[in-house]
Amino acid sequence: MARLLNKVAVITGAARGIGRAIALRFAEEGCSLALSDLNLTGVQDTARECEAKGAAHGVRTATFPTNVTKRADVEAMVAGTVAQLGRLDILVNNAGIFNNAAFELMTDEQWDSMINVNLNSVLRSKSTKPSSLLGGPSWNLAATDTSRRWRCGIPGSAMSTTRSPRISARHSDC
Ligand SMILES: NC(=O)c1ccc[n+]([C@@H]2O[C@H](COP(=O)([O-])OP(=O)(O)OC[C@H]3O[C@@H](n4cnc5c(N)ncnc54)[C@H](O)[C@@H]3O)[C@@H](O)[C@H]2O)c1
C-alpha cells in the first residue's frame, strides 16, 4: 500500500539517523521527498536510497544544504521544493542537536545553540505554510523527547527542555 502517493514531504536533518529513517519509510509509501541537512553529501546519499526504495511509485527527490537556523536557507528550501517537486504537503521538523552536558555545567553557547536549532527552527519553519500553499491538509511532525532528564538533572536535561515545546508546536498545527 502506498499511503503517501503523490504527496511531497520536506524532512530536515535527513542525512542520517531518524531523519534518514523517516525518509526511507515515506519513500516506501510513495512520498516524494525534499531532503535537507547541513551535510549535503549525506542527504544526497539518503535521496538515492529513497529513489531506489520508492522506484515502483515514481518517488522523486530534491536535496538542499539547509541550516534550519537560517531563515534564508529555510525559505530557499521551500521555494526549491515547490519549484522542483511541484507542491509541499508534509513538513518534518527533525533536525536537532544534543549537547550532552548536565544543566549546571552547560555553557551559554551550548544552551543558545540548542534553543536555536531545536526550538527556534520550528518557528522559522512556519514560513513554509504548507496548507496555505496547497489549500489542503498539512502535517507538521516534530521530534519530541519525553524523558524525565530535566527533573532528574542528569546530562541531557537542557536538550529535553528544547524538545517539549515542539510537542505543542505540533499540536497547534493539527
Ligand atoms: N536519537 C534519539 O534517541 C532521540 C530521542 C529524542 C529526540 N530525538 C530528536 O530526533 C531528531 C533526530 O535525532 P537523531 O538521533 O537522528 O540525530 P542525529 O544527530 O543522528 O541527526 C541529526 C541530523 O540533523 C542535522 N542537523 C544538525 N543541526 C542542523 C542544522 N542547524 N540545520 C540542518 N540540519 C542540522 C545533522 O547534520 C544530522 O544529519 C533530533 O531532533 C533529536 O533531538 C532523538
Which of 16, 112, 117 for a ligand 1 pocket mutation test, highest count of atoms within 8 Å of Cβ? 16
Q: What is the pLDDT of residues 94-133, one digit of tens each?
A: 898 988 878 788 899 998 998 898 888 877 776 666 554 5
**Over the stretch 35-68, which tens digit does the pLDDT of each residue have?**
999 999 999 999 999 999 999 999 999 999 999 9
Measured between alpha carbons, how far is 85 from 38 in angstroms, rounded to an integer?
Answer: 21
State how far the Cα of 36 lies from the Cα of 30, in Å rounded to an integer.
19
Domain extent listing, the chain = 8-167
Question: What sections of the chain are H helices per DSSP?
Answer: 17-28, 40-53, 71-85, 108-114, 121-124, 130-134, 149-152, 157-172
Give residue 160's pLDDT: 57
What is the rounded radius of gyration, in angstroms, for the C-alpha atoms of the chain? Answer: 16
Exposed / middle / buried, residue 3 (Cβ in 10 Å: 0-12, 13-18, 19+)? exposed
Give me the CATH topology for the region 8-167.
Answer: Rossmann fold (3.40.50)
- Residue 39, burial from CB neighbour count under 10 angstroms (0-12, 13-18, 19+): middle
Q: Residues lining ligand 1, CB < 6 A?
A: 12-13, 15-19, 37-39, 66-69, 94-98, 117, 143, 145
